Amino acid sequence: MEKRRIIQTLGVVSALLVTMFIVHSCGIYSFTGTSIQPDVKTVTVNYFEYKALKVNPSLSNDITTALQDKFLKLTRLEQVDMDGDLEITGTVTGYDVKATAITANEQAAQNRLTVTVKVSFVNRKYPEDDFDDKSFSAYADFDAMTSLDAVESTLCEDIIEQLCEDIFNSTVANW
């Protein structure tokens, strides 16, 4: 009786492993949520230009690096400097702080830092997936009694993470 149970368990485990191998090896779906075709091998993430009116000198570099890191960690794609099978080009178009919550005395209680980027995506193997100048925005709120300088780096980390997630999903996860 015990042998039969072990054999059944091994059969179920084997079936699951074979299924996982087949699904993963087809290259169309991965367990990171991407849907990259198997013949797509490289990606180019170009430097994000900075064209926003308010200046944050490190934001372009931080977004570019974070997006490159995301592709490195979550895909099998080799990163190349130019002419990748997938190519992402972006521009920081907005970097704004606005009041979001007003007190009874008509003073700001909370402010919001919003970063906006425009992204173009080229898929040289599957051009039907291309898009041009798609806008992505992310924000983080902070207490109005706190200066932007005091919280800017932390807010930007959160915003960059969200922007990269949205760009990644829009380019290779087809969301």
CATH number for position 78? 3.30.160.150
Average pLDDT (89-110) is 85
For residues 50 and 14, membership in a common domain is answered with no
What percentage of the chain carries pLDDT values higher than 70?
A: 76
pLDDT in tens, 40-85: 999 999 999 999 999 999 999 999 999 999 999 999 999 999 999 9
Rounded Cα distance between 93 and 49, Å, is: 9
* Residues 89, 165 within the same domain: yes
Two tokens at 73? 């960690």
Residues 69 and 6 in one domain: no
CA distance 107 to 100: 10
Domain residues for 12? 1-31
DSSP assignment of 85-100 equals SEEEEEEEEEEEEEEE
- Cα separation of the two ends of the chain: 49
Residue type (1 letter), 34: T
pLDDT in tens, 147-164: 999 999 999 999 999 999
Which has the closest alpha carbon to 84: 49, 120, 41, 130?
Answer: 41
Q: In this structure, are 63 and 121 located in the same domain?
A: yes
- Mean pLDDT computed over 112-119: 97
Name the domain count of the chain. 2
pLDDT score of 120: 98
